[in-house]
């Protein structure tokens, strides 16, 4: 059997665990982290640092910290400093400090027993191991709120004051604490809270333009030349923006869309591949929502679905979809409603989340309304609507 060449060049570059060598639109935060920890390359024994990194899902918190950790380790090595960056997801260890620190110890001492020691004893073992190796550690605790929820102020206080157990000994461990926002820290008592909120880096949600830059960067690494048209990248950015600007979601969408393209032996990732990808993550619009639409609302939506299915476009102007609607009305022997009424349909369907609209930007003659399907494939939507329209016809019903 002869297989068509994949649209992918290296799909591992779309893996959730892949950390790019550069992070578009996070350069400023990366530089700030490097500055906060610059002492590690100059006088590492004299001080330790604690930094909180906050941001919503998909704003790049984990990737930023892992990129920083790799770069800081390299920079320290150039200066003759042995630095270990250890990244632990607290949720994976049920927020238990003993299990979290035990993981950090296992990096230095793989044979350390997994049971029988308290958090304080494991912390002392970690510091002793670093002393023996004359090394330093940046311990990054992802989803730090899990530890706060599970063990509260005592665990946080023990973690942030661990150097005080050693009086004048070398400062060995610095912390990067990663969480969505600072609200969980309000649960802590004043002593624990005062040890935390010194340096906070807040990652803002990505804009559509920033998402496009991020996706284009990944496309160049992961896909073959010209395998992903620009309008597909823009559509993926729009869909991710609808999901709170989640870059991780956008990257996963592109990977899934590439899989649909390969499964259908396509040379490029078509917009319909992307729509199928998102409908596999977000269930298709509930049937009862479509059933509740009026007759001509269904016809208009059917026309939009057929337009996107046949044109292979990611976006369509209202004028283009209106022409398709006129053809659909002819098929169903119906008189089209007015342009004003169609605009009301667009507003309703947008409010229901079945359609999305945006105003075209620079580069077009004037400004026009663009329409796209946000969470369903055009072919699935067409099939569903034709079934509903056929049911209505059999029942002799008409909805205006």
10 assigned to some structural domain: no
Grade residue 281 by pLDDT with cuts at 50, 70 and 90.
confident
| Cβ burial 37-46 (10 Å sphere, 16+ → b, else e) | bebbbeebee
Q: Is 53 in the same domain as 185?
A: yes
CA distance 298 to 22: 46
Q: Which tokens sit at 48? A: 């330790």
pTM comes to 0.88
Q: Is 193 in the same domain as 71?
A: yes
Lowest mean pLDDT across 117-121, 143-147, 351-355: 117-121
> Which range marks the domain in which residue 248 is found?
207-281
Q: What proportion of the chain, given as a percentage, has pLDDT over 90?
A: 70
Q: Is 275 in the same domain as 160?
A: no
| Average of per-residue pLDDT values in the chain | 90
Q: Is 76 in the same domain as 195?
A: yes
Q: Is 259 in the same domain as 294?
A: no
Which tens digits make up the pLDDT trace of 17-40? 999 999 999 999 999 999 999 999
Q: Tell me what pLDDT residue 361 has.
A: 61
Q: Is 305 in the same domain as 273?
A: no
399 assigned to some structural domain: no
- pLDDT, mean of residues 131-143: 95
Q: Tell me what pLDDT residue 399 has.
A: 42
Q: Tell me what pLDDT residue 285 has.
A: 57
Q: In angstroms, how far is CA 12 from the centroid of its own chain?
A: 16
Q: Is 373 in the same domain as 274?
A: no
1 assigned to some structural domain: no
Q: Is 161 in the same domain as 76?
A: yes
Q: Is 361 in the same domain as 240?
A: no
Contact 211, 247 (CB under 8 A): yes
13 assigned to some structural domain: no
- pLDDT, mean of residues 241-258: 92
- pLDDT, mean of residues 375-380: 89
DSSP letter string, 322-384: HHHHHHHHHHTT-PPPPHHHHHHHHHHHHHTTSSEEEE--TTSSS--EEEE-SSS-HHHHHHH
Grade residue 193 by pLDDT with cuts at 50, 70 and 90.
confident
- pLDDT, mean of residues 357-365: 65
CA distance 286 to 388: 13
Grade residue 369 by pLDDT with cuts at 50, 70 and 90.
confident
Determine what percent of the chain falls in helix, strand and coil, rounding each to the nearest 5: 55, 10, 35
Q: Tell me what pLDDT residue 284 has.
A: 58
pLDDT of 307 > 50? The answer is yes
Q: Tell me what pLDDT residue 363 has.
A: 46
Q: Tell me what pLDDT residue 2 has.
A: 52
Grade residue 192 by pLDDT with cuts at 50, 70 and 90.
confident
In DSSP terms, which residues pair with 139 in a beta bridge?
A: 86, 175
3 assigned to some structural domain: no
Q: Is 183 in the same domain as 88?
A: yes
How many domains is the chain partitioned into structurally?
3
Which tens digits make up the pLDDT trace of 97-106? 999 999 999 8
Which domain-ending residue is among 171, 203, 235? Answer: 203
Q: Is 63 in the same domain as 154?
A: yes
What's 94's domain CATH number? Answer: 3.40.50.300
Which domain-ending residue is among 223, 253, 281? Answer: 281
pLDDT of 397 > 60? The answer is no
2 assigned to some structural domain: no
71 assigned to some structural domain: yes
Which tens digits make up the pLDDT trace of 56-77? 999 999 999 999 999 999 999 9
Q: Is 268 in the same domain as 378?
A: no
Contact 388, 318 (CB under 8 A): no
Higher pLDDT, 189 or 300: 300
Sheet of strand 135-142: strand arrangement = 82-89, 135-142, 173-179, 50-55, 199-203
Grade residue 116 by pLDDT with cuts at 50, 70 and 90.
confident
Higher pLDDT, 149 or 287: 149
Which tens digits make up the pLDDT trace of 146-185? 999 999 998 888 888 776 666 678 899 999 999 999 999 9
16 assigned to some structural domain: no
What's 323's domain CATH number? Answer: 1.10.10.10
Q: Tell me what pLDDT residue 197 has.
A: 66
């Amino acid at each position: 059997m002869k297989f068509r060449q994949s649209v992918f060049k290296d799909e591992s570059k779309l893996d959730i665990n892949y950390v790019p060598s550069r992070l578009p639109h996070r350069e400023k935060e990366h530089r700030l982290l490097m500055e906060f920890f610059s002492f590690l390359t100059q006088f590492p024994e004299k001080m330790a640092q604690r930094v909180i990194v906050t941001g919503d899902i998909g704003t790049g918190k984990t990737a930023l910290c892992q990129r920083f950790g790799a770069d800081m380790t390299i920079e320290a090595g150039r200066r003759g400093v042995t630095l270990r960056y250890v990244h632990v997801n607290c949720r994976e260890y049920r927020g238990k400090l003993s299990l979290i620190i035990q993981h950090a110890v296992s990096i230095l001492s793989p044979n350390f027993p997994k049971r029988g020691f308290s958090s304080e004893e494991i912390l002392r073992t970690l510091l002793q191991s670093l002393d023996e190796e004359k090394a330093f550690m940046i311990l990054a605790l992802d989803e730090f709120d899990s530890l706060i929820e599970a063990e509260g102020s005592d665990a946080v206080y023990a973690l942030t004051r661990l150097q005080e157990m050693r009086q004048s000994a070398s400062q060995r461990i610095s912390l990067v604490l990663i969480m969505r926002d600072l609200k969980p820290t309000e649960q802590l008592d004043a002593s624990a809270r005062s040890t935390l909120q010194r340096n906070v880096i807040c990652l803002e949600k990505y804009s559509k333009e920033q998402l496009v830059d991020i996706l284009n960067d990944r496309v160049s690494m992961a896909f073959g030349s010209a395998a992903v048209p620009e309008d597909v990248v823009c559509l993926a950015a729009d869909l991710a923006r609808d999901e709170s600007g989640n870059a991780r979601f956008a990257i996963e969408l592109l990977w899934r869309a590439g899989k649909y393209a390969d499964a259908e032996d396509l040379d490029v990732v078509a917009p319909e591949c992307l729509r199928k990808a998102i409908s596999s993550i977000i269930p298709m619009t509930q049937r009862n929502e479509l059933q509740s639409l009026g007759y001509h609302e269904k016809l208009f939506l059917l026309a939009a679905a057929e337009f996107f299915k046949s044109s292979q476009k990611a976006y369509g102007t209202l004028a283009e979809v209106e022409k398709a609607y006129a053809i659909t009305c002819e098929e169903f022997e119906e008189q089209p409603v007015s342009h004003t009424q169609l605009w009301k349909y667009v507003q309703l369907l947008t409010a229901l989340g079945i359609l999305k609209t945006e105003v075209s930007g620079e580069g077009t003659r004037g400004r026009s309304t663009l329409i796209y399907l946000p969470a369903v494939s055009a072919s699935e939507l067409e099939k569903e609507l034709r079934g509903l329209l056929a049911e209505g016809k059999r029942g002799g019903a008409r909805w205006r």
